[in-house]
A and B are shown apart, each in its own frame.
Chain A
Amino acid sequence: MEFKVPTMAELMAAGEEPEILFWVGCAGSYDERAQKITRDICKILHHVGIKYAVLGTEESCTGDPAKRAGNEFLFQMQAMTNIEVLNGYNIKKIVTGCPHCFNTIKNEYPGLGGTYEVIHHTQLIQDLINEGKLKAEGGESFKGKKITYHDPCYLGRGNGIYEAPRKALEVLDAQLVEMKRCKTNGLCCGAGGAQMFKEPEKGNKDINVERIDEALETNPQFIAAGCPFCMTMLSDGIKLKDKEQEVKVLDIAEITARANGL
């Protein structure tokens, strides 16, 4: 990276507070594919000049997969530890790179003592576009390109956020095509509810293949995602269909960064 990503510890040592904390998430931290998205989110934050910071090694799992797998103990242990860190840094506003982290911190942390303004990175991108701080210029042109957006369950149905990611794509002047099952009726990629970490039960098809088949029906050049788990599932599906050359699966942050030459 051409710039240094600031951590909360550094900011605190300098007696400063960030405008917003970027909660990276486990996938964004460790998964190679998702790390690219994380860096692109940082590039966008850096580009528009928002004062932000990450927790770095002080971050830890929100507890979402533990909760969805039924281990409320482990979830609350994680949650309370994280809340202690977040409150210790006097965090007010958080942007997450993952709809699961977003949902957990926004909805499930307040009851355990952690109340913050939480947004997903697609909402941040939409806000920046609305404020005129972010455009789609200086980089790759997506004009007229066919893009279909896959709704992550925990952003869409889970929290009713359907417009922000689409607004972030509209600015590209691309051709947005919807899949048959979209928005409230969107089909899961197959990773939610801790499925990401286990083999699927016996069936006649994998869920991500069902979803990719549907995405490919729209004949897209790009499939836009907003979740690192969806990214894994959709990319695996594209690989399985041997369509890696024709169709690219990109996160909205990556598309935004590319369009701005970041």
Chain B
Amino acid sequence: MVAQILFLILTLAAVALFTVNFRKIIRNIRLGKPIERNDQPQKRLMTMIRVAFGQSKMVVRPIPAFLHFFVYVGFVIINIEVLEIMIDGLFGTHRIFHGLGGLYDFLIGSFEILALTVWLSCAIFLIRRNILKLKRFSGVEMTSWPKSDANYILITEILLMSAFLLMNAADAKLQALGIGHYVNAGSFPVSQFLQNLLPNSESTLVYIERGCWWFHIAGILAFLNYLPYSKHFHILFAFPNTYFSNLEPKGEFNNMPSVTNEVKAMLDPAFVPAETAPGKFGAKDVTDLSWVNLMNAYTCTECGRCTSVCPANITGKLLSPRKIMMDTRDRVTEVGKNIDKHGAEHQDGKSLLDDYISREEIWACTSCNACVQACPVNIDPLQIIMELRRYAVMEESQAPGSINAMLGNIENNQAPWKYSPADRFNWAEGN
């Protein structure tokens, strides 16, 4: 009874804490500007099924795709086991679903195999990060916290899987001894090999079985509450992020309606704009970005596929699309904390541009869309870079000198170079 009450309190506390932090993230995302992403629901759904559920963009890199697939499937399927743990924990039962008979044996057997593949995949991931030191996992933005974050996630998953397997091994041994409520249920294709490592004493086995059971569920609840602080949040946000992702051709950049109004009024004095959208052009801070940009930032799992294909980054420039996303998340988290502490009107005098992302970074972008193409969950770092450029150019008139010269040429000669419009057709005279 005490255990049941303890279990109930633990679960409720974990869910409550997660809800509080999750709602803060939703609040932070809503600090972004509106953007219409509810059109074409069918196409959006198909994109989500293909890219998030189907992992279609992961296959470009077969080795991590293969390993990630095991962890992903393991995560989704082993959660069925969590349902049983929840019921057992609340009602003081043991292996409540054992009545399913052969199906139960099959399920537990599959979970064990999946647990082993998750375990091995995570171990290989740790080796790739810490021993092989793959280039993709380093970079200026990969400071100690992002690196530790990745390791914490992998180690936790290994520990959770170990506890699950060890629990089963102890359980099976108790079943064989015919002890109390340890009914004969389940098949143990993996944990049977652990049985020999365990002692034969009944009380020790019960301690191990119970210990692992509590560690497994407490670990899962703790992990749930780690998500809002971690890059691992992608396990939840990959789905809405792909659903609300851009469906237009990647080459198309949005036409700013506020500018259209002004240009129309300039070209035709009789034009009366339908609505005047106040505010600045482009983005100086995260609150000038759209909610999709901010959701992108919370979805980013810092895998670095974007940065590894960025032509600027490859050739040693400061720009790293992954840093753009990490900076955006760090800044919007900071803005959120300021709101919690000092109220919505508080200004801390900082901004995304300059305090987080430098001018040198935004001007190194070739807008080639390689980062957007590479992202397995359809994050768009390019849109953020463009919004920052728009602010720098339209609000501050701060662009590199040669860019200003090019803009001046278009304005005066209708071409980015200093040629006379009258000479535009001279090419036809050549051979």
Contact = CB atoms under 8 A, between A and B. Distances in A.
Interface string B351-379: 00000000010011111111011000000
A115 B52 CA distance: 34
B317 interface: yes
A159 B314 CA distance: 24
A29 B415 contact: yes
Interface in A182-203: 184-188, 190-203
A78 B260 contact: no
**Highest count of chain B CB atoms <10 Å: which of A5, A74, A206:** A74
B425 interface: yes
A197 B255 contact: no
B414 interface: yes
Interface string A199-223: 1111111110110000000000000
B315 A193 contact: no
B241 to A, nearest CB: 19
Interface stretch (B86-94, B338-346, B403-411): B403-411
The SS class assigned to the B binding surface is helix
**Highest count of chain B CB atoms <10 Å: which of A24, A56, A69, A205:** A69
B428 A112 contact: no
Nearest to B249: A159
Interface in A159-195: 159-160, 181, 184-188, 190-195
Contacts of A42: 428
Nearest to A109: B255
Nearest to B401: A198
Given A39-B427, A185-B60, A198 B403 contact: yes
Interface string B404-431: 0111001100111101011111111111
A30 B410 contact: no
**Highest count of chain A CB atoms <10 Å: which of B317, B414, B428:** B428
A69 B264 CA distance: 21
B259 A76 contact: yes
Contacts of B427: 24, 28-30, 35, 38-39
Contact of B366 (A60, A111, A190): A190
A163 B180 CA distance: 69
B179 interface: no
Given A68-B253, A70-B389, A205-B315, A157 B262 contact: no
Given A80-B264, A194-B403, A71 B393 contact: yes
Contacts of A185: 60, 309, 370, 373
A65 interface: yes
Nearest to B262: A73
Contacts of B267: 77, 80-81
B403 A197 contact: yes
Contacts, number: 219
B41 interface: no
B390 interface: yes
A88 to B, nearest CB: 14
Contacts of A26: 415-417
Given A157-B250, A185-B309, A197-B406, A76 B260 contact: yes
Given A30-B417, A60-B415, A76 B250 contact: no
Contacts of A187: 309, 311, 314, 370
Contact of B425 (A57, A81, A199, A200): A57
Contact of B431 (A1, A56, A157, A196): A1
A257 B423 CA distance: 25
A201 B366 contact: no
Contacts of A206: 315
A193 B368 contact: yes
A59 B250 CA distance: 26
Nearest to A59: B424
Question: Chain B contact residues (Cβ within 8 angstroms of A): what range?
Answer: 35 or more
B402 interface: yes
A183 B221 CA distance: 44
Contacts of B407: 66, 69, 71, 74
Interface residues of A, number: 74
A61 B360 contact: no
A158 interface: yes
Contacts of B422: 57
A205 B264 contact: no
Contacts of B316: 202-205
B394 A70 contact: yes
B370 A188 contact: yes
A201 B317 contact: yes
B264 A201 contact: no
A157 B393 contact: no
A119 interface: no
Interface in B308-324: 309, 311-312, 314-319
Contacts of B415: 26, 29-30, 60-61
A153 B403 CA distance: 21
B206 interface: no
Contact of B414 (A61, A188, A196, A201): A61
A210 B316 CA distance: 11
Contacts of B406: 65-66, 69, 194, 197-198
Given A73-B263, A185-B309, A7 B425 contact: yes
B282 interface: yes
A145 to B, nearest CB: 24
A11 B399 CA distance: 42
B394 A204 contact: no
Contacts of B249: 103, 107, 158-160
18 contacts: A1-B429, A1-B431, A26-B415, A26-B417, A30-B427, A54-B425, A57-B422, A71-B390, A71-B393, A73-B259, A181-B309, A190-B311, A194-B367, A195-B366, A198-B402, A199-B402, A207-B312, A207-B315
Given A35-B430, A78-B410, A157-B370, 10 more contacts: A60-B424, A72-B390, A73-B259, A108-B252, A153-B368, A188-B368, A197-B403, A199-B402, A202-B318, A206-B315
